[in-house]
Amino acid sequence: MSATARQTAPMPVDIKSRKGGEPIVSLTAYTTPMAQMMDAHCDIVLVGDSVGMVLHGLPSTLEVTMEMMILHGRAVSRGLSRAMMVIDMPFGSYEQSSEQAFENAAQLMRETGAGAVKLEGGQHMAQTIEFLVQRGIPVMAHIGLTPQSINTLGGYKVQGRGPQAEVLMQDAKAVAAAGAFSVVLEKTPQGLSDEITASIDIPTIGIGASAGCDGQILVVDDMLGLFTAFKAKFVKRYADLGDLGEAAIAAYAADVRARRFPGPEHVFADAAPKVKAAQ
């Protein structure tokens, strides 16, 4: 996608300047048509590693690869002209070293046109975030429930209750100090989410956090009712397209079996017979 086509999209510095202002609207996307639908309405479109579960039927995000992220990132980029695209760094692509993180982040941005990358982790990832930012890679941080760490977290549990609240607060301050332009707070208690939002100078993007965050994000297939394997408490269904789609497929199957489809309006007439020349 050309620079001209994306010149109206906000940049990370623009998102950071929204701290305390009008809430930032964000959704995930994995395909061109979905990106086209949300482009006029979202400030940020995230190519999330949730694609592994939502579109590929994987049990978690841990099996998502760089190749998958690049494939879907290119697709989403083709559907955007207004919103800023951020892309997730998949599990295993940034944890080993800052140098590894830079190499893979640069590849993701270079091959997809993303304006920034997102990576999971708080204090222990601060050095990597600083390394990337100093080298021209804008970073959206992600703390609280970090799905790539579910094996050590013990599942998809609320994070930040009790003594863990102070750890999460320090995580938020660490990623902000390291230069992240925003931070996702996932599945964190409302009060703590509000305290974090008031304590750092970068926007907080909530998912299962608080309406007091500087913005919100949801997985688009969740909010449209397309992903029905489970429904998290923090998801609001704005449509039930999964039910509508299944009903439409059932109607199609019934029409085919009853030979109601295709009808006369869906088929093509035979060619008109040629008129024989007079003998």
Of 22, 63, 99, 186, which is the active-site residue? Answer: 186
Residue 264 burial (10 A CB sphere; 0-12, 13-18, 19+): exposed
Q: Answer left, alpha or beta for residue 225, where phi above 0 means left and psi between -120 and 50 means alpha.
A: left
Amino acid 6: pLDDT: 46
Least confident of 3-12, 174-183, 244-253: 3-12
Residue 181 CB partners (closer than 8 Å, separation 6+): 12, 13, 15, 16, 116, 138, 139, 140, 202, 203
3-state SS record for the chain: CCCCCCCCCCCHHHHHCCCCCCCEEEEECCCHHHHHHHCCCCCEEEECCCHHHHCCCCCCCCCCCHHHHHHHHHHHHHCCCCCEEEEECCCCCCCCCHHHHHHHHHHHHHHHCCCEEEEECCHHHHHHHHHHHHCCCCEEEEEECCHHHHHHHCCCCCCCCCCHHHHHHHHHHHHHHHCCCEEEEECCCHHHHHHHHHHCCCCEEEECCCCCCCEEEECHHHHCCCCCCCCCCCCCCCCCHHHHHHHHHHHHHHHHHCCCCCCHHHCCCCCCCCCCCCC
Average pLDDT of span 7-16: 89
The structure tokens listed for 276 are: 């024989």
Rounded distance between C-alpha atoms, residue 123 and residue 170, angstroms: 7
Which domains, from first to last, does the chain contain? Answer: 12-235 (3.20.20.60), 240-266 (no CATH)
Per-residue pLDDT for 22 more than 70? Answer: yes
Asked if residues 259 and 266 have their Cβ atoms less than 8 Å apart, the reply is no
Amino acid 279: pLDDT: 59
Rounded distance between C-alpha atoms, residue 253 and residue 249, angstroms: 6
Amino acid 196: pLDDT: 98
Rounded distance between C-alpha atoms, residue 47 and residue 217, angstroms: 12
Amino acid 27: pLDDT: 98
The structure tokens listed for 76 are: 């989403």
Give CA torsion, residues 199, 223, 32, 58, to 10 deg.
90
pLDDT tens sequence across 58-93: 999 999 999 999 999 999 999 999 999 999 999 999
Q: What percentage of the chain has pLDDT greater than the value 90?
A: 90
Rounded distance between C-alpha atoms, residue 32 and residue 51, angstroms: 14
- Round to the nearest angstrom and report the end-to-end CA distance of the chain: 64
103 given a catalytic annotation: no
pLDDT tens sequence across 184-200: 999 999 999 999 999 99
Tell me the pLDDT band of 1, cut-offs 50, 70 and 90: very low
